[in-house]
Structure 1
Amino acid sequence: MPKILVVEDDPFIMMWVEDALHDAGFSVLTATNADRAITYLENDPEITLVFTDIDMPGSMDGLKLALAVRDRWPPVHIVIASGKHRPLASEMPEETVFIPKPYLPRDILGAVRGFH
């Protein structure tokens, strides 16, 4: 079962995304900021995808997290989401998918299943 790390600071959205992914058969970890996400990635080699919001508290936002993931864990897939920003393709790492908020479960699953 693929393991997905959801990085979202809004607890309601985090639980909603986690439930949608669980219901689709994925194993899910959650983090409220990029620093915690990095710790998970350093300690769990089974993570195959990071689903991250852009706007988060902490040392880096979701775009910087995505760049760090691509640099340190190249095989890990990345999905970026935001309701406030629509990043240019040049701002995102290669092979990254962007989905705008508000999104539906089918949007999340479509982006994730594109990698699995």
Structure 2
Amino acid sequence: MDTASQPAVLVVEDEPLIRMDAVAMIEDAGFRAYEASAADKAIAILEAHGDIGILFTDIELPGSMDGLGLALYVRDHRPSVFIIFASGAVGVDETALPVGSLFFPKPYPAQTIIDALQKMAGNSARQS
């Protein structure tokens, strides 16, 4: 599948090195990636780019909204966007995450994330 035919991924991570690694991993897997360091910036990017079909976010983010709040915003405003959480936070209540989202504890194996992205991209293609 070429990058033009699959959804772009919005990576939201406040740690610059982790964000850089995540973007590189996603682009190496053949996806387009946008990046933001906080939820407010992520919302602006999401509103500016209609090709975003997957949100890949940390839970603990600086600013007015954490990753869970961002995911709930995305679910309300762009319900077709798939959501993946990756967090080093201990004691995450996965029942509080939006229905249909995935959670991976950090550190995560890159291939696990790539597999999830590819599955979501396939589901996205079937929805269109």
Give the TM-score band, short-chain normalised.
over 0.9
Task: Please identify the structure whose Cα radius of gyration is greater.
Answer: 2
On the 8 A contact 2:94/2:103 being kept in 1, the answer is no
Corresponding residue pairs, total: 116
- Which structure is higher in helix share? 2
- The 3-state SS of whatever aligns with 1:79 is strand
Could you tell me how far apart the structure 2 residues matched to 1:114 and 1:95 are?
Answer: 13
- TM-score, L = length of structure 1: 0.94
- What's the C-alpha RMSD, in Å, of the aligned pairs? 1.1
Could you tell me how far apart the structure 2 residues matched to 1:20 and 1:105 are?
Answer: 7
Deviation (angstroms), 1:86: 4.5
Could you tell me how far apart the structure 1 residues matched to 2:88 and 2:115 are?
Answer: 18
Matches within 5 A, 1:1-116: 1=3, 2-116=7-121
The amino acid of 1:62's aligned partner reads G
Could you tell me how far apart the structure 1 residues matched to 2:46 and 2:9 are?
Answer: 10
Could you tell me how far apart the structure 1 residues matched to 2:89 and 2:107 are?
Answer: 10
Deviation (angstroms), 1:9: 0.4
Could you tell me how far apart the structure 1 residues matched to 2:105 and 2:91 are?
Answer: 7
Q: Which runs of 5+ in 2 are unaligned?
A: 122-128
Deviation (angstroms), 1:89: 3.4
Could you tell me how far apart the structure 2 residues matched to 1:6 and 1:103 are?
Answer: 15
List per-residue Cα deviations over 1:73-115 (Å, max 9, x = no partner): 0001100111113433331111100011001211211221221
Could you tell me how far apart the structure 2 residues matched to 1:58 and 1:38 are?
Answer: 12
Identity %: 45
- The 3-state SS of whatever aligns with 2:41 is helix
Against the structure 1 CA distance between its residues 69 and 85, is the aligned structure 2 distance closer, same or farther, given a 3 Å change threshold?
farther
- TM-score, L = length of structure 2: 0.86
Which 4+ stretches in 1 moved above 4 angstroms?
none
Q: Which of 54-63 and 101-110 deviates more?
A: 101-110
Q: Which of 79-88 and 16-25 deviates more?
A: 79-88
